[in-house]
Structure 1
Amino acid sequence: MNKTKRLEILTRLRDDNPNPETELDFTTPFELLVAVTLSAQATDVSVNKATAKLFPKANTPQGILDIGLESLRDHIKTIGLYNSKANNVYKMCQILIDKHGGEVPENREALEALPGVGRKTANVVLNCAFGWPTIAVDTHIYRVSNRTKFAMGKDVVAVEEKLEKVVPKEFKVDVHHWLILHGRYVCVARKPKCGSCIIEDLCEFKEKTD
């Protein structure tokens, strides 16, 4: 895909949604970190339902430690892989207290050193909590980037590197939100809704649907 097409796609997505936000509910960097950690292989809706009950009782590292691991498990048991996620969040809280004064570090290396936190989670936290122009590539972004030919890559890291290269600076803070939402609601996995897509004429997917 050429530069002119990419620019027009980004411009249309921005005009349609000038201030995109994550669909995870949070009010602090710590709440976001927990929510993103819980969201692996789970829907944002299921995470929001669980954190709506958890965060009023415990929304700080010390608060999580105070309610205990069993209570944490009980609060998130409706989310897939809740046992391992509870263990990771609990250990994460102890590390945040011991090494970071109970605060979420604004640092990629420190974030990725936390249990249950990989590159994608770190990118989301750096972007949504601290405003960094990071691009967190999930399955939606991977699919949309390859399907449209906007930024093709054999895996999520390759797609992230391509997006970093081809997305102009002015769009970088918001591009991952636009692509996630586009993949979640329009360019869906099984049958993309091409007929109602605002970038259909620019997309290079050959098997368009009605």
Structure 2
Amino acid sequence: MNKEKRTQIFTRLRDQNPNPTTELNYSSPFELLIAVILSAQATDVGVNKATDKLFPIANTPKAIFDLGVDGLKEYIKTIGLFNAKAENVIKTCKMLIDLHDSEVPDTRDALEALPGVGRKTANVVLNTAFKQPAMAVDTHIFRVSNRTGIAPGKNVLEVEKRLVRLIPKDFLLDAHHWLILHGRYVCKARKPQCGSCIIEDLCEFKEKTS
């Protein structure tokens, strides 16, 4: 895929949704960090149901740490892998209190040092909370990047690096949200909705459904 076609794709996605954002509910970098940790192998809807109850009670590192592992589990037990996630969140809160004055750090190395935070989670926080041009590649973005031809790659890291390199700079900050929403609602895994896709004519997928 050439640069001109990529530019057209992201121009259309921007025109359709000028101010995209995550579907996770949050009101601070810390709330976003916790929501993203909880979202691993879980839906945003499921995470929001839990955090809508948790955050009014505890939405700072100290407040969640004071709940303890067992107290936190009561709020997140409807989320998959909640036992391990509760342990990680409590450990992360302790590190934020001890090492970062209860603030979420804005560097990749510091974020990835937190329990339960991998590269993808760090990228979401850097991009969404701190407006850095990071690219968090999940299953939706990996699929869309390969299927459309925007940035094909054999693994998540390869796709991430190609997206950062190939997406025109004017679109890079919001590209993560456009691609994930496109994959979630249009370019679906089992049956992409090519007939209602605004970039169908630019997409290089050979097996279009329309």
- Residue 69 of structure 2 corresponds to 69
After TM superposition, the structure 1 = structure 2 runs for residues 16-35 of structure 1, keeping only pairs within 5 Å, are 16-35=16-35
For each residue in 1:68-95, what CA deviation from the matched residue of structure 2 results, as whole angstroms up to 9, or x when unmatched?
2111011000000000000000000000
After TM superposition, the structure 1 = structure 2 runs for residues 37-76 of structure 1, keeping only pairs within 5 Å, are 37-76=37-76
Structure 1 Cα separation of the partners of residues 75 and 117 of structure 2:
20
Identity in percent: 70
Structure 2 Cα separation of the partners of residues 65 and 39 of structure 1:
19
For each residue in 1:125-177, what CA deviation from the matched residue of structure 2 results, as whole angstroms up to 9, or x when unmatched?
01111110111110000000000011000011000010011111111100010
- CA deviation after TM superposition for structure 1 residue 66, in Å: 1.4
After TM superposition, the score normalised by the length of structure 2 is: 0.99
- Residue 177 of structure 2 corresponds to 177
- Flag as ranges the 4+ runs of structure 1 deviating above 4 A: none
- CA deviation after TM superposition for structure 1 residue 11, in Å: 0.5
Structure 1 Cα separation of the partners of residues 57 and 67 of structure 2:
8
After TM superposition, the score normalised by the length of structure 1 is: 0.99
Q: Which amino acid aligns with 1:119?
A: R
Q: Which runs of 5+ in 2 are unaligned?
A: none
Where 1:68 maps in the other structure, the secondary structure is: helix
Q: Which amino acid aligns with 2:6?
A: R
Q: Which runs of 5+ in 1 are unaligned?
A: none
Where 1:174 maps in the other structure, the secondary structure is: helix
Does residue 126 in structure 1 map to residue 123 in structure 2?
Answer: no
- Residue 208 of structure 1 corresponds to 208
Structure 1 Cα separation of the partners of residues 76 and 56 of structure 2:
14
- Residue 139 of structure 2 corresponds to 139
Number of aligned positions between the proteins: 210
